[in-house]
Amino acid sequence: MTIQEVLYKIKNGEKEDINKAKKELEVIWKNISNDERKKKEFIAFFLPELNNFDQIKNKSNQIAFIGSLKYLLMISGEEDGMFEAMSEYILVLIQHPSGHIRRATVHVAEYITWSLILRRDDFFGKKINNDIIKKYKNVFGEFVEKIDILLNQYKKPEYKKYKYISNLPVGVYKSLQQLMSEILRSKYYEDIYEEYLNKNKIAKNPSKILPQIKLKYYKKKKDGESFGSEDIDCCLCGKKNIDLGGAIDAHTDNPKFYCEDCAIDAYMKDHGFKTREAAEARRRRIFDVGYLFNEMITDKYIRQRNKKSIDDLIEIEMNLIFFVGKDKFNELFTKSEKIELEEMEKQSDIEKELRKKLKYIDF
């Protein structure tokens, strides 16, 4: 069968016709997947069919058509503008009134990331231009941000009581949460989205030096004091016994560490800060807002357990508070919300927003 005949059966056939057409479509794909000319012909015919979705009468045919989109999604990054078109289509389908349509959309959405070159090691043995990687990261980030925006549009106050996505009431909001979990399905993708947000959403005022957050329990470095790491040299500037700023190839057997000073210099360059002081103050907020939330959780724990002070807590309690605080901070605040908190001028305003989430934490 031709691609035209296959799609006709998917859109109009009975169950048996649909199953045969799916198998035929897979055969067609295998025959063209390594042929660039045939792939372009495949796209040229298939892509316009997206506009005819509402003309498909039966729900089973609509669901089958959505399933067939995986072949377009797998190559969506290979043609200029195609990823943007397919991601917009996903966002339309995920808001469909039918739960069956939304569920089918979630299931097929994972394929949209397959053709994106997001890091050099995604495609071994190929020379990848940095501009290409930058482009892919940007379109990926824009897509995830649009999901984030829709989540805020559909969010209702009563949804906060649900700890797990599976427990949410059936509806568009639940489907969007499922879609977000599918697209950000690992730390790999979460890190890329966080990088996108950091590069595109911070440094609104690149000269502004944000005041340091005052912390009660987290020790801050005093003048002349070092939190150095013995026998570790900075891989960038060569400084010895460094204050760790980060790592290169952190998940390999041979990580390379760089110092805090080099981390601040890179942060300043990447985000366009006018002064090193402004970059250092903004970068510190990334950590200190989380620390502040953890301290507020600590105080709540102390009150609930009728302790006099933090000195009355044993090590296992401190570890419990730390892990609960870390998990809840990531669970209760989106990436965008964290950035908004980090950029607030007054600590009292930050504490006000953090306090709203304390009611969802109990021991």
Q: Spell out the per-residue pLDDT of the chain, length 363, in tens.
A: 788 899 999 999 999 999 999 999 999 998 887 888 888 888 888 988 999 999 999 999 999 999 999 999 988 887 788 899 999 999 999 999 999 999 999 999 999 988 787 765 555 555 666 777 888 888 999 999 999 889 988 988 888 788 889 899 999 999 999 999 999 988 888 888 888 887 776 656 778 899 999 999 987 555 444 555 557 889 999 988 888 888 887 767 788 899 999 999 988 887 888 899 999 999 999 999 999 999 999 999 999 999 999 999 999 999 999 988 888 898 888 777 888 899 899 999 999 999 999 988 877
Same domain, 164 and 16: yes
If one counts the domains in the chain, the total is 2
pLDDT at residue 178, as a whole number: 95
Contacts of 129 (CB under 8 A, 6+ apart): none
d(CA 237, CA 263): 11
Q: Is residue 228 part of a domain?
A: no
Q: Choose the final residue of a domain: 141, 171, 201.
A: 201
Name the domain boundary from 148, 181, 201: 201
pLDDT for 179: 96
Q: Which amino acid is at 176?
A: L
β-pair partners for 253:
none
Q: What is the DSSP secondary structure assignment for residue 251, as one 8-state letter?
A: T
Give the separation between CA 87 and CA 159, rounded to whole angstroms: 26
Q: Are 271 and 322 part of one and the same domain?
A: yes
91 phi and psi angles, rounded to 5 deg = -70, -30
Phi, psi of 240 (to 5 degrees): -100, 160
Which of 138, 166, 201 is the last residue before a domain boundary? Answer: 201
Residue type, 182: E
Q: Is residue 207 part of a domain?
A: no
What is the C-alpha separation between 1 and 347, in angstroms, rounded?
A: 66
For residue 23, the enclosing domain spans 3-201
Residue 348 falls inside a structural domain = yes
Query: Which residue carries 């090691």 as its tokens?
Result: 121
Do residue 192 and residue 318 come from a single domain?
Answer: no
Residue 14 lies in a domain: yes
| Residues 249 and 196 both lie in one domain | no
Which H or E run includes 358? Answer: helix 347-358
Say how far apart CA 210 and CA 282 lie, in whole Å.
6
- Dihedral, CA of residue 307, residue 308, residue 309 and residue 310, to nearest 10: -30
97 lies in the same domain as 31:
yes
pLDDT for 211: 94
- Residue 78, C-beta contacts closer than 8 angstroms, at least 6 positions apart: 39, 115
Do both 310 and 188 map to the same domain? no
36, part of any domain: yes
Verify that 195 and 269 share a domain, yes or no. Answer: no
Instruction: Give dist(CA 4, CA 52) in Å, integer.
Output: 14
Q: Which pLDDT score is estimated for 224?
A: 47
Token pair 């198998």 is found at 23
**Whether residue 181 is found in the same domain as residue 249:** no
* Domain co-membership, 279 together with 162: no
Query: Residue 280: inside a domain, yes or no?
Result: yes
Same domain, 283 and 337: yes
Note whether 59 and 144 are same-domain residues: yes
Tell me the C-alpha distance between 70 and 68, whole Å. 5
Name every residue whose Cβ is closer than 8 Å to that of residue 77 and which is 6 or more positions away in sequence: 83, 114, 115, 116, 117, 136, 139
Q: Please, is 252 exposed, middle or buried when counting C-beta atoms within 10 Å of its C-beta (0-12, 13-18, 19+)?
A: exposed
Whether residue 179 is found in the same domain as residue 102: yes
Q: Is residue 363, in this structure, part of any structural domain at all?
A: no
Is residue 315 in a domain?
A: yes
